[in-house]
């Protein structure tokens, strides 16, 4: 658990297409000062840009992906995979410039973003990292689906899915999460969908950039049609865990606790995070008590949140 904030060492860019729009887009990441947080700048093509902070308070639609929107109505969609990579890399501060309305899908995972961040390198900053520590259970339910945060000494995800289609069925991923675990167990799990839904999505102007290169596809015979098959035997639930990590990164600070969900998705993830942060008895803001370079054995202590808290909703 890093005790000081981190940014990247140099600017780096990636290009690809949006999974829904199919439009080409370039996304660039730059170093940022301590306490900046994660801030998107959507370029408008005329030299201007529109700022959108990566916070749950800015979440708009969550139907097939997570979309951020500022007060002017400017949006950036499909942010979950890059946010998962940011959280999985331990990055606290970066400015993200993007010249289109949707984050590029790349290979449908967080892996390419992780590689780019490692290529750029990381810089440990002077400011201490703050954490959101869960103090009591915060739970929401939506029909048969539910999600909750529980107190836990660490950061843990327990994500369970349940599909009628035999190739998926009921799967559960449960693990403490750190940077090494994210890269090995989560980062390469692909987004997935059903061939039977493709024509309906195309008619709605969605999934125009989807392909076997960036999506795990289940055919009409309930089998995976991608050459090479699955990357993990339970790749479907691992991708759901990836989505949850990205959606919960919109808290504005890493959390200490256990997130559990059953038959969840982007909407439920956002609702669970809002429920936690709206109950100020359910969490506290903490930071390491140790001095720089002496984090081993250091304890976490509660701190007064700043007047403008990035996690406020």
Q: Which of 20, 41, 50, 266 is catalytic?
A: 266
Contact 261, 184 (CB under 8 A): no
Rounded distance between C-alpha atoms, residue 89 and residue 87, angstroms: 5
Residues whose CB falls within 8 Å of the CB of residue 228, separated by 6 or more in sequence, listed in order: none
Annotated catalytic residue 41 = no
Q: State yes or no: 239 annotated in a binding site.
A: yes
User: Do the Cβ atoms of 130 and 286 come closer than 8 Å?
Assistant: yes
Q: Is 81 annotated as a binding residue?
A: yes
Element (H, E) at 22: none
> Rounded to the nearest 5°, which phi and psi values hold at 286?
-130, 165
The helix (run of H) or strand (run of E) holding residue 93 is none
* φ and ψ at residue 24, rounded to 5 degrees: -70, 145
Sheet strands (E) in the chain? 4-8, 12-17, 24-31, 38-43, 49-53, 68-69, 75-76, 94-98, 122-128, 130-134, 138-142, 145-150, 155-162, 170-176, 192-194, 216-218, 255-262, 283-288, 300-302
Cα distance between residue 107 and residue 104, in whole Å:
9
Is residue 242 within 8 A of residue 259, CB to CB? The reply is no
**Cβ–Cβ under 8 Å, residues 303 and 286:** yes
Residue positions annotated with a catalytic role: 266
In the annotated binding site for Zn(2+), the residues are 81, 239, 243
């Amino acid at each position: 658990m890093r005790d000081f904030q981190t940014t990247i060492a140099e600017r780096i860019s990636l290009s690809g297409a949006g999974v829904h729009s199919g439009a080409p887009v370039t996304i660039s990441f730059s170093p940022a000062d301590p306490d900046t947080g994660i801030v998107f700048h959507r370029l408008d093509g005329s030299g201007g840009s529109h700022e959108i902070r990566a916070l749950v308070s800015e979440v708009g639609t969550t139907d097939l992906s997570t979309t951020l929107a500022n007060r002017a109505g400017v949006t950036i969609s499909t942010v979950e995979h890059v946010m998962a990579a940011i959280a999985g890399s331990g990055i606290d501060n970066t400015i993200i410039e993007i010249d289109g309305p949707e984050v590029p899908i790349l290979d449908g995972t967080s892996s390419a973003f992780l590689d780019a961040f490692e290529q750029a390198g990381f810089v440990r900053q002077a400011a201490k990292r703050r954490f959101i520590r869960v103090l009591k259970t915060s739970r929401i339910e939506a029909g048969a689906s539910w999600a909750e945060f529980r107190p836990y000494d660490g950061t843990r995800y327990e994500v369970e899915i349940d599909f009628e289609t035999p190739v998926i069925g009921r799967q559960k991923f449960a693990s403490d999460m750190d940077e090494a675990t994210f890269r090995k167990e989560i980062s390469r799990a692909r987004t997935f969908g059903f061939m039977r839904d493709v024509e309906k999505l195309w008619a709605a102007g969605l999934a125009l950039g989807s392909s076997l290169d960036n999506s795990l596809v289940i055919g009409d015979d309930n089998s995976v049609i991608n050459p090479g098959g699955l990357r993990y035997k339970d790749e479907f639930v691992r991708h759901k865990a990836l989505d949850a990590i990205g959606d919960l990164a919109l808290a504005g600070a890493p959390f200490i606790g256990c997130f559990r969900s059953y038959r969840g998705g982007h909407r439920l993830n956002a609702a669970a995070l809002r429920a936690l942060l709206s109950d100020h008895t359910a969490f506290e803001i903490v930071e390491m008590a140790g001095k720089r370079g002496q984090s081993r054995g250091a304890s976490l202590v509660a701190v007064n949140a700043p007047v403008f808290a990035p996690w406020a909703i």
